[in-house]
Chain A
Amino acid sequence: MNNTGVEIEETVKELRQYFKTEKTRSVTWRKNQLQAILNLVHENEDAMSKALYQDLGKHPVEAYRDELGGLEKSAQTTLNCVEKWMAPTKSHIPLVFFPAKGEVLPEPLGVVLIFSSWNFPIMLALDPLIGAISAGNVVVIKPSDQAPACSSFLANTLPQYLDTNAVKVIEGSPRVASIVMTSAARNLTPVTLELGGKCPAIFDHLSNPSDFKMAVKRIVGAKWGTCSGQACIGIDYLLVEEKFSSEVIELLKKFIRKFYGENMIESRVLSRIVNKQHFERLCNLLKDPLVAASIVHGGSVDETNLFIEPTILLDPPLDAEIMTEEIFGPLLPVITVNKIQESIGFIKSRPKPLTIYAFTKDDTFKRKIVAETSSGSVVFNDTLVQVMLLLPHLIFML
């Protein structure tokens, strides 16, 4: 469905009118919609996996782990809790105001607009939808046009399950997106931005070999197992003490071979790069001769299939684009420092990341990291991948 400005205005007007009827306020309506989302996810797993594979070459198990499984959990938890969350909370009123009682009453905002991105195109559309509906809002979803199969899936399937008066999907080009964003600023609409950044992983020396192995496994799984590094919470670069760097790199190589095999295109375990534009962007990061010279593993690219091999770089120049821009792809710079504590200063001198990962058993160091750095969140000794699936309570936003 192609949308012009006039059509979109009409759609929003209709939604606003429906919101005014207050149908979306009732707990029954909200629970019905949440149940409908659950049903949608249960009944369409194959279709969604197919769409994800078509758009991103994403393996169905990765799709389930990172998108579909998490959605189920999220919808179920929200269904269980919505009534409690909707209830007013009593406020204690000081005696000087006697007689008085006070409460804080959660109220839906009204007409909500959700933009989802292309790397987790199903989850990033439906998870915020679950939140917006549970709060009693009406919603427009604008899926990313860079994941067209998923976008069509959402446009065709959501109307079959949800109240079409309250939830609409608008497909369209980036031009549509920017029109809407400008209007949000003009209209004083509060915005929640889930962006990204360069998420570092601090890798402290782990003396126990099995801990060391597990840490590297987790890093490899997180870096390349989530949409081939095209994830906001993906590990962007590694910080390691100089004297341990070769050990770490050797083990990284070993697990890359173990998980992704020798022939990655055939193994179909790795997602591909989403489109030509991003493929070229990533190739350009490697064009700088000093950067290319720092490649210690991988580096080969397949333009026809939009594939880039898992690539490790050792100490590329810090002012190269690969170290100043968010990578969002399967390239992993390993930056060496003299003492691991220097990682804190390194991270602080750069923009705040969405997540900081740190592999260490040193409790003092852990406390320093939490206290002295600022980020959306911090994860010790693991990567955030399974959090999406299994820990809905942990706040996940910058």
Chain B
Amino acid sequence: MVFDGEAAASLVKEMRLSFNSGKTRSYEWRISQVNAFLKMVVEQEDQIIEALRSDLAKPPLETVVYEIGMFKNSCEVILKELKQWMTPEKAKTSITTFPSSAEIVPEPLVLSLDPVVGAIAAGNAVVLKPSEISPASSALLAKLLAEYMDNSCVRVVEGAVDETTALLQQKWDKILYTGNGKVGRIVMAAAAKHLTPVTARRIISGKWGCNNGQACISPDYVITTKDFAPKLVDALKVELENCFGKNPLESVDLSRIVSSNHFARLTKFLDDDKVSGKIVYGGEKDESKLRIAPTLLLDVPRDSLIMTEEIFGPLLPIITVNKLEESFDFINEGTKPLAAYLFTNDNKFKEEFVKNVSAGGLLINDTVLHLVVHSLPFGGVGESGMGAYHGKFSFDAFTHRKAVLYRGFTGDASLRYPPYTDTKQKTMKALVAGDVTGVVRALFGWS
């Protein structure tokens, strides 16, 4: 069956009817869906691991920690806090509008599992279109969500360009898109005077531990001083071997490249002699298995393709500067990244970094983890994206904060109505200035 414009329109109509029935508004329904998600990831853990292994050769541990673990955490936060998030906020009203009370009522806007659970927590109906580039995961999501979730309000549409186009022709109340389109590059400035294995390992887990570099928050490149670069390269080499062994292409702990298109895209970066000449570690590839080994490059030309495009793969350029302060300009010259990481013990430098570097999120002395902290909003800025989510920020992203003002009929300020007199104007001015005597004087015609 073809999913075309007509099918999309019909799906949206059905979802809107479900939404209009009011069922997604209740606290009970939202909790029931979040619980269904939790049940699903626990009961189907093996299937999920298998799908990700099939799509990406993702190591089971990575799946369990990053995908399942994080998602379970999101669900648990929602279960704990949803009641509070749903309570209308009282807003201050002023004496001049007495008697009245005001509140901001969180109201769902109709419309990957983390955004899906956020949207559900906010009481929306949701259609999920998973990436077709990971077909096993896409099929699994379609199957499991149909099995576990309330199908009248939560649906999956699989497919590629045609189906996406059909969906985008419909009217949605919100669209959350995670993906390419200048998702943004990650930048890292490493400065630690005493480089510990911990630092190197944190860099490694952020870069190659996440889908072998195919993650929006993986460090894209590193900036460090000329003096420090050799130490950094050595430390990374040692730790990389500890993590992935002498033959990383054979390592089961390394994900493969998702598709031959992306494999070609990545090898193209290395086609440039000026770039491939700078490889100081790694560089091995296996086209038949779509595998590329963790690769370090030292001081590639700044205008090469690998430095102007988002890498999204296991290649890590290291750029050296004379003084680390130069890294700010370097970063700010480019488009704003999704995340910027800094490794340093220098508190002053930390402050300068936070003050001067604009990015979706900043993380000092670690990588990637800010994604997992639900009290921090995750999102981009400028070219790296707009909007943010995670935790309550997800709830807010899918919510319209509706202002509601209740007034009564006791007392009315005639100064609102014509005829417009000088007295009325003077009284208004006094009210604005909070000048009670002025108000009295105006009303008595004394000013």
Residue in B closest to A224 when the chains form the complex, CB atoms: B418
B93 contacts A391, CB within 8 Å?
yes
Flag if A188 contacts B386 (CB, 8 Å).
Answer: yes
* Structural contact, B105 and A387, CB atoms closer than 8 A: no
- Looking at the assembled complex, report how far the CB atom of A225 sits from the nearest CB atom of chain B, in whole angstroms: 7
In this assembly, does B413 line the interface, its C-beta being within 8 Å of a C-beta of chain A? yes
Query: Is A177 in the interface zone, CB < 8 Å from B?
Result: no
Quick check: A386 and B413 within 8 Å, CB to CB?
Answer: yes
Whole-angstrom CA separation of A375 from B369 in the bound complex: 37
Q: Which of A110, A188, A378 contacts B403 (CB 8 A)?
A: A378
For window 86-104 of A, CB contacts with B under 8 Å fall at 91-94, 97, 100, 102, 104
Given contacts A93-B373, A393-B92, contact A381 B429 (CB under 8 A): no
Q: In the complex, what residues of A have CB within 8 A of residue B425's CB? A: 60-61, 64
- B94: contacting residue among A59, A91, A94, A390, CB under 8 A: A390
Kindly identify, within residues 329 to 387 of chain B, every residue whose CB is under 8 Å from any CB belonging to chain A: 332, 354-356, 358, 369-370, 373, 375-377, 381-383, 385-387
Which B-chain residue is minimally distant from A377 (CB atoms)? Answer: B403
Asked if A217 contacts B382 (CB within 8 A), the reply is no
Write out, one digit per residue, whether chain A residues 45-82 have a CB within 8 A of any chain B CB (1) or not (0): 00000000000000111101100010011000000000
Q: Which residues of A contact B433 (CB under 8 A)?
A: 72
Shortest Cβ distance from B418 into A: residue? A259
Kindly name the residue among B102, B375, B385, B409 whose own CB sees the greatest number of chain A CB atoms within 10 A: B409
Asked if A225 and B417 sit within 8 Å, CB to CB, the answer is yes
Asked if B405 and A378 make an inter-chain contact with CB atoms under 8 angstroms apart, the answer reads: yes
* A363 nearest CB neighbor, chain B only: B406
B407 CB-CB contact with A under 8 Å: yes
Listed stretches A115-123, A194-202, A208-216; interface member: A208-216
Would you call A385 an interface residue if the criterion is a C-beta within 8 Å of the partner chain's C-beta atoms?
A: yes
B residues 188-227 touching A (CB-CB < 8 Å):
none
A381 touching B407, Cβ below 8 Å: yes
Query: Does A141 touch B at the CB level, under 8 Å?
Result: no
Taking CB atoms and an 8 Å cut-off, the chain B residues in 56-111 that contact chain A are: 91-94, 96-97, 100, 102, 104-105, 107
Binds B, one of A153-161, A282-290, A366-374: A366-374
Contact with B along A103-117 (1 / 0, CB 8 A): 011010110000000
Q: From residue B401, how far is it (CB to closest CB) to chain A in Å?
A: 6
Q: Would you give the shortest CB distance from A188 to chain B, in whole angstroms?
A: 6
User: Is A172 in contact with chain B by the CB < 8 A criterion?
Assistant: no
Nearest-neighbour CB distance to chain B for A183, whole angstroms, equals: 14
Complex CA gap A215/B407 in Å reads: 11
CB-CB nearest in chain B for A25: B355
* Cβ–Cβ contact A109 & B381, under 8 A: yes
Asked whether A211 lies within 8 Å of B409 as measured between CB atoms, the reply is: yes
CB closest residue in chain B, given A255 = B417
Query: CB within 8 A of A102: which of B376, B381, B407, B421?
Result: B376
Contact assessment for B102 and A391 in the assembled complex, using a CB-CB cutoff below 8 Å: yes
A374 touches B418 (CB 8 A): no
Q: Name the contact of B369 in the complex, choosing from A91, A97, A105, A107 (C-beta under 8 A).
A: A97
Question: What number of A-B contacts does a CB cutoff of 8 Å give?
Answer: 148
A260 and B418 contact, CB distance less than 8 A: yes
Let me know if B404 and A378 touch, CB within 8 A.
yes
Partner of A390, one of B96, B375, B409: B96
CB B112 to nearest CB in A, in angstroms, measures 20
Query: Residues of A within 8 Å of B, CB-based: how many?
Result: 65
Decide if A387 touches B405 in the complex (CB within 8 Å): yes
Residues of A within 8 A of B421 (CB): 61
Q: Which residue of B lies closest to A105 (CB)?
A: B354
What DSSP secondary structure best describes chain B's contact surface? mixed
- Asked whether, in the complex, the Cβ of B406 is within 8 Å of the Cβ of A391, the reply is no
- List the A side residues contacting B432 at CB < 8 Å: 69, 72-73, 389-390
Do B404 and A269 touch across chains, with their CB atoms under 8 A apart? no
Cβ of A109: which chain B residues have Cβ within 8 Å of it? 381
Give A191's nearest chain B residue, CB to CB.
Answer: B386
Chain B positions within 8 Å of A215 at CB level: 409
Asked if B291 lies at the interface with its beta carbon under 8 angstroms from chain A, I say no
B274 at interface by CB-CB < 8 Å: no
| Nearest B residue to A390, CB-CB | B96
* A163 located at the interface, meaning its Cβ lies under 8 Å from any Cβ of chain B in the complex: no
Tell me whether B407 and A64 are in contact (CB under 8 A).
no
Annotate B405-426 by CB proximity to A: 1 below 8 A, 0 otherwise: 1111100110011111100110
Instruction: Determine if B285 is an interface residue (Cβ-Cβ < 8 Å).
Output: no
Q: Is the CB of A65 within 8 A of B376?
A: no
Give chain A interface residues in 383-398, CB to chain B under 8 Å: 384-387, 389-391, 393-396, 398
Q: Knowing A260-B418, A348-B20 touch, does A395 contact B373 (C-beta < 8 A)?
A: no
| Chain A minimum-CB-distance residue to B409 | A211
Distance of A218 Cα from B416 Cα, bound (Å): 9
Q: Which residues of A contact B278 (CB under 8 A)?
A: none
Contact call A380/B407, Cβ cutoff below 8 A = yes
In contact, A217 and B417 (Cβ under 8 angstroms): yes
For A374, the chain B residues whose CB sits under 8 A away are 107, 400, 402
Looking across the interface, which residue of chain B has its beta carbon closest to that of A375?
Answer: B402
Out of A61, A73, A372, A384, which one reaches B424, CB within 8 Å? A61
In Å, the complex CA distance between A187 and B195 comes to 39
**Which residues of B sit under 8 angstroms from A389, Cβ to Cβ?**
428, 431-432
Taking A390-B97, A391-B97, A393-B93 as known contacts, 9 extra A-B pairs with beta carbons closer than 8 A to each other, sorted by chain A number, are A100-B373, A104-B376, A259-B417, A260-B418, A370-B105, A374-B402, A387-B405, A391-B405, A393-B102
Residues of A bordering B, CB below 8 Å: 20, 22, 25, 59-62, 64-65, 69, 72-73, 91-94, 97, 100, 102, 104-105, 107, 109-110, 187-188, 190, 208, 210-211, 214-215, 217-218, 221, 225, 259-260, 269, 348, 366, 370-372, 374-382, 384-387, 389-391, 393-396, 398
Tell me the B residues contacting A by CB distance below 8 Å. 20, 22, 25, 91-94, 96-97, 100, 102, 104-105, 107, 182, 332, 354-356, 358, 369-370, 373, 375-377, 381-383, 385-387, 400-409, 412-413, 416-421, 424-425, 428-429, 431-433
Question: Sorted from nearest, which 8 A-B pairs have the closest CB atoms?
Answer: A61-B420, A377-B403, A382-B407, A91-B375, A259-B418, A211-B409, A381-B407, A190-B386
- Can you list 9 residue pairs at the A/B interface with Cβ under 8 Å? A64-B428, A69-B429, A97-B373, A110-B382, A208-B409, A225-B418, A269-B420, A380-B406, A391-B405
